[in-house]
Structure 1
Amino acid sequence: MNKWRFALQKRWFGYLGVAILFAIICVMLSNWQLSRRDEREVEIDRVNRNFDATPVQIEDVLPTLDGFNENDRWLPVEVTGTYLPEKELLVRNRPHDGQPGYEILTPLQLDNGNIFVVNRGWIPTGNDADRPESVPRPPSGEVTVVARLKAGEAEIKGRGAPEGQLATIRLDDAAATFGQPTYTGAYGLLASESPESPDPRPAEVKRPEPDEGPHLSYAFQWIIFALMAFGFLGYAVREEYRRVNSDDPEENRRATERARKKALRVTDADIEDELLDGKH
C-alpha cells in the first residue's frame, strides 16, 4: 500500500476532478450532437411526408393569419387570388448554387381580401449591386397557386435593406408594407401557378437533401475524448508510480523482465524478413 501513497496527494485528487469535469462536458456535447441529429431526422421525415403531398386548402392548415404548425412545413397548399406586383418585395443576399441574388416575394390577394405571401423564386444580381437586372412578372388576373409552406424568418440585427427590399423574410415587415391583412405565420414557396407567367420563371427552391450531417460521428468523438481523459490520468499515475518506486528492487526486477520480454518478442514481420534474407 505504501507504494501507492503518492496517489493520495491533493494534486491527484485535483487531476481526477479535472478529468471528471472534462468528461462531463464531453458527454454533454455528445448529447447535444445526438439531439441535433434527432432534429435532422425529424426534418428529413417531414420533407418525405409533406414535400410531394396532395395540395390542401390554405384554411385547413392556416386557420388564423398568424398561426403555423411546424409539422406542416413543406406541405403544399392551393390558393386562388390575384398577384399584386406593385407591392412586390425583393429579399437581398440570398445565395443559390453558390451565386448571390434575390428572392421575389409577391403578395397574392385572396377573394376574402387577405394576402398570402408567395416566394416566386430566385434571380441573380445584376451589374448594380442593389438591384437585379430585371424581375420576371407574375401572371395577371386570377391565378391558382400551389406553394409549399415555410415559417417566416427572424430579424437580423444591424442588417438593413433599401426601399422595396427586405434583409430577411420577416413576414411582419412584409405585412407592414402591404397595409392589408396578411398571413404572418407562414409564406409559400412557389411550386406551380396557373396560368403561368409569360416571363421566364425564377429559379425554384430545390427539395432538401436527406442529409443527417456528421452529428453521430461527432457524438462518438466526444465520448472518445471523455475516455481519453481517464486514459491520460491512468498513464500519469503509472509513470508517477514507477518514478516513486524506482529504488524498489522488486519493481526494478519487474521492469527488467518486461524489457527482456519486449526485446525477445518476435513478430510475424520479423520472421518474414528473416525468411526473405535467407533467400539471398
Structure 2
Amino acid sequence: MNRLRFVMNRRWAGYLGVAVLFAIACVLLSRWQWARLDEVRAENERVAQNWDRDVQPIDEVLPTLDDWHDDLKWTPVELHGRYLADEQLLVRNRPMNGQPGFAVVVPFKTDAGAVFVVDRGWVPTGSEQDAPDAVPAPPAGDVTVVARLKPGEPTLPGRSAPEGQLATVHLPTVEEKVGEPTYTNAYGLLASESPAPAESAPLATPKPPEDEGPHLSYALQWIAFAVMGFIGLGWAVRTEYRIRNADDPKVRMQEERRSERRKAKGPSDAEIEDALIDSHR
C-alpha cells in the first residue's frame, strides 16, 4: 500500500477530478440521447396511431382556432371550402431526398369562414434562381380537402424571407398576410383534394419512417466513454507504479512473465509489418 502513496498528491487528485468531470459530462450526454430516443418513440407511436385514423371534420378535432395538443399530430381532418390561391406562399429550406426545395402552403377558407393553412407538398428549387421554376396551382372553386394535422412552427431569429415566401410555417404571420380569422396553432399536410387539380400537384409529403435512429447506440457509447476514462486513469496509475517500483522483485518478476508470454505468442502482425519496412530501408 505504501508503494501507492505517490497517487496521494495534487497532480493525481487533478487527474481524478478530470476523470470525474469527463464521466459526468458523458452521463449527461447519455441522458440527453435517452431523452431524444423517448421523443422519437413517442413520435413513432403518434404516427402509428393517427396516420390512418378515420377522417374527422376539422371543427370536431379543433373546436377553436387556437386549439392544439400534441396527441392530435398526424390526425386526418376534412375541410370544405375554397383555396385562397392569391395568398399562396412558399416555405424556404425544405429539402427532400437531399434536394433543396420549398413547401407550398395555401390558405384554405372553410365554409364556416375560418382560414386553415394547407401544405400542398414540395417543389424543387429552380435551375437558375432561388425560387421554383413553376408552382402547380390548387383546384379552383369549391374543394374538399383531407389534411393531416401538424403544429405551427416558431419564428427563427435572424431568418428572413423575400416577398411571397416564409422562413417557417409561422401561422400568426400567415394570418397577418391573409387578414382573416385563421387557425394559428395547427396546419395540415395535404392527403387528398377533390376535385383534383387541373395540373400536376406538388410532390406529397411521405409518411414518416418508424425509425428510432442512432440515439440508443449513442447513449450506450457515452456510458462506455465514461468508463473508459476511469480505465485510462487506472492504466496511468499502473504505469507509474511500475516505473517507480522497477527495483521491486515482485514487479521485475511480473515484467519477466509478461515478456515471456509475448515471446511465446510470437511477433504481432504490426511488428512483422514494421520489420519488413525496416528491412527495405
- Using the size of structure 1 for normalisation, the TM-score is 0.89
Tell me the equivalent position of 1:77.
Answer: 77
Distance, in Å, in 2 between the alignment partners of 1:206 and 1:2 is 68
Tell me the equivalent position of 2:147.
Answer: 147
Distance, in Å, in 1 between the alignment partners of 2:71 and 2:261 is 65
Shift of 1:263: 3.7
Distance, in Å, in 2 between the alignment partners of 1:129 and 1:265 is 66
Change (3 A) 1:151 1:16: same
Change (3 A) 1:253 1:95: closer
Distance, in Å, in 2 between the alignment partners of 1:56 and 1:231 is 58
Distance, in Å, in 2 between the alignment partners of 1:171 and 1:185 is 7
Tell me the equivalent position of 1:240.
Answer: 240
Tell me the equivalent position of 1:169.
Answer: 169
Shift of 1:265: 6.1
Distance, in Å, in 1 between the alignment partners of 2:133 and 2:239 is 71
Distance, in Å, in 2 between the alignment partners of 1:94 and 1:258 is 60
Change (3 A) 1:66 1:242: same
Shift of 1:156: 2.0
Distance, in Å, in 1 between the alignment partners of 2:188 and 2:123 is 17
Change (3 A) 1:260 1:67: same
**Deviations for 1:226-263, whole angstroms, at most 9, x for unmatched residues?**
11111111111111111111222343234334434554
Tell me the equivalent position of 1:275.
Answer: none
Equivalent AA in structure 2 for residue 224 of structure 1: A
Distance, in Å, in 2 between the alignment partners of 1:254 and 1:100 is 63
Distance, in Å, in 2 between the alignment partners of 1:124 and 1:249 is 76
Change (3 A) 1:134 1:255: closer
**Deviations for 1:36-67, whole angstroms, at most 9, x for unmatched residues?**
11111111111111111111121222122122
Distance, in Å, in 2 between the alignment partners of 1:101 and 1:257 is 66
Tell me the equivalent position of 1:231.
Answer: 231
**Which is worse superposed, 247-256 or 232-241?**
247-256
Tell me the equivalent position of 1:22.
Answer: 22
Change (3 A) 1:115 1:237: same
Does residue 211 of the first structure (1) align with residue 214 of the second (2)?
no
**Deviations for 1:162-184, whole angstroms, at most 9, x for unmatched residues?**
22221221111111000000001
Does residue 110 of the first structure (1) align with residue 128 of the second (2)?
no
Equivalent AA in structure 1 for residue 242 of structure 2: R
Distance, in Å, in 2 between the alignment partners of 1:256 and 1:157 is 66
Does residue 3 of the first structure (1) align with residue 3 of the second (2)?
yes
Q: CA RMSD in A?
A: 1.9
Distance, in Å, in 1 between the alignment partners of 2:258 and 2:93 is 66
**Which is worse superposed, 137-146 or 36-45?**
137-146
Change (3 A) 1:258 1:65: same
Does residue 197 of the first structure (1) align with residue 190 of the second (2)?
no
**Deviations for 1:131-173, whole angstroms, at most 9, x for unmatched residues?**
4333222222221110000111221222222222212211111
List runs of 5+ in structure 2 lacking aligned partners. 267-281
Distance, in Å, in 1 between the alignment partners of 2:93 and 2:255 is 67
Equivalent AA in structure 2 for residue 81 of structure 1: G
List runs of 5+ in structure 1 lacking aligned partners. 267-280
Distance, in Å, in 2 between the alignment partners of 1:4 and 1:53 is 68
Secondary structure in structure 2 of the residue aligned to 1:74 = coil
Secondary structure in structure 1 of the residue aligned to 2:24 = helix
Count matched residues: 267
Identity %: 53
- Using the size of structure 2 for normalisation, the TM-score is 0.88
Secondary structure in structure 2 of the residue aligned to 1:31 = helix
